[in-house]
Chains A and B, each alone.
Chain A
Amino acid sequence: MQPKGYEQLAPDRLDSTFAALADPTRRAILARLASGQASVTELAKPFGMSQPAISKHLKVLERAGLISRGRDAQRRPSRLEATPLAEATAWLEGYRRFWEDSFQNLDALLDELKTEPSKRGRTKR
C-alpha cells in the first residue's frame, strides 16, 4: 500500500537518484563527501579503489545531481549536493513513516486488546 502525497515529486529525478544510491560504494562516497569536498585521489585512497573506478562512480553521482565537481582542472573536487538527496530521503521517509506510524498504532491497539480480551471477537488463536 502506498501513502498519499508522493506523486508530486519528479519521478525521473527520483529514479536516477535511487539508481545512484543503490550502490554501497556510492553511498559511502556520499557519506565521505558529507564531511567535506574531496578529490578523486583523496577518495580513491580510503576506498582502496583505483582512480578510474572512483571516477566512474562519481560520474553516476554527478548525473543524478547528487554531487557537483569543481572547475579546478587538477583536483576537480567533488562536493555533495543536498537537494536530490533530501527529496529521495523525504520519499523514503514518507513511505516508511506510513507503515511505521501504522504499526505503532497497531502496537498500541494490540496492547489494549491483550488487556481487554472481550474486544477480541470471534477469531481463535
Chain B
Amino acid sequence: MTNTETLQVTTPSEREIAMTRVFDAPRGLVFDAWTKPELLKRWLGVRNGWSLAVCEVDLGVGGAYRFVWRGPDGAEMGMGGVYREIVAPERLVSTEKFDDPWYPGEALDTIVLVEENGKTTATTTVLYESQEIRDAVLESGMARGVGESYDVLAELLASAGS
C-alpha cells in the first residue's frame, strides 16, 4: 500500500455514522469522481473481483442513481436512491436503499468536500431513520470497533493467534 491516509469513522449524532478521508487532489476532481459514472466505475467497490457493472447517475435534484456490483461468482449487489441536494463541488446529498436490505428503511447520505492546500477532506455521513437502526448497524459490526479499536484488535489478534 502506498497510501498513508487513514479512514476515520465517527458517530456525530445518535442517528449518524460518518467516515472521513483526505485525498491529495482538489475537490473538483473528487466531486467528479463521485458523480460521473465512467469515473465511479473505476473505484467504488471495485475490488476482489467485484466490478461496478451498472452505474447510472441522473445528477439533478430529484434525479435517481443506481449501482449494481457483480462478483466473480455471479453474485450481485444492487442499491440506489435519489439526489436531494447537489452543490458542486462541495456537497452531495442522496438517499440510499439496498435491493437486499441489511437495515430497515432508507438512509440519507451526505458527502461534504472541503479543500485546503490542494487536498480534499471528504466526509461521508449516513443518517439512518432511527437511533435503533443506526445502533443496529453499529452493533452489527461497524464503527465503534472500526473507529476506536480496530488497530488494537488487529494487534491483539495477531498475538492471540500464537
* Residues of A in contact with B (beta carbons under 8 Å apart): 1-4, 6-7, 9, 11, 14-15, 18-19, 21-22, 24, 27, 30-31, 34-35, 80, 82, 85-86, 88-89, 91-93, 95-111, 113-114, 120-121, 123-125
Contacts and interface: CB of A to CB of B under 8 A. Distances in A.
B157 A82 contact: yes
Contacts of A19: 139
Contact of A125 (B19, B27, B46, B69): B27
Contacts of A35: 159
Contacts of A34: 156, 159-160
Interface of B: 1, 3, 5, 7, 19, 21, 23-33, 35-36, 39, 42-48, 50, 69, 71, 75, 77, 79, 88-89, 96, 98, 102, 138-142, 144-146, 148-150, 152-157, 159-161
B107 to A, nearest CB: 9
Contacts of B19: 99
7 contacts: A14-B139, A24-B148, A86-B157, A108-B43, A111-B25, A113-B39, A121-B36
A61 to B, nearest CB: 13
A125 B26 contact: yes
Given A86-B157, A105-B42, 12 more contacts: A92-B141, A92-B150, A92-B153, A99-B7, A102-B43, A103-B3, A103-B5, A105-B46, A106-B43, A110-B29, A113-B39, A121-B36
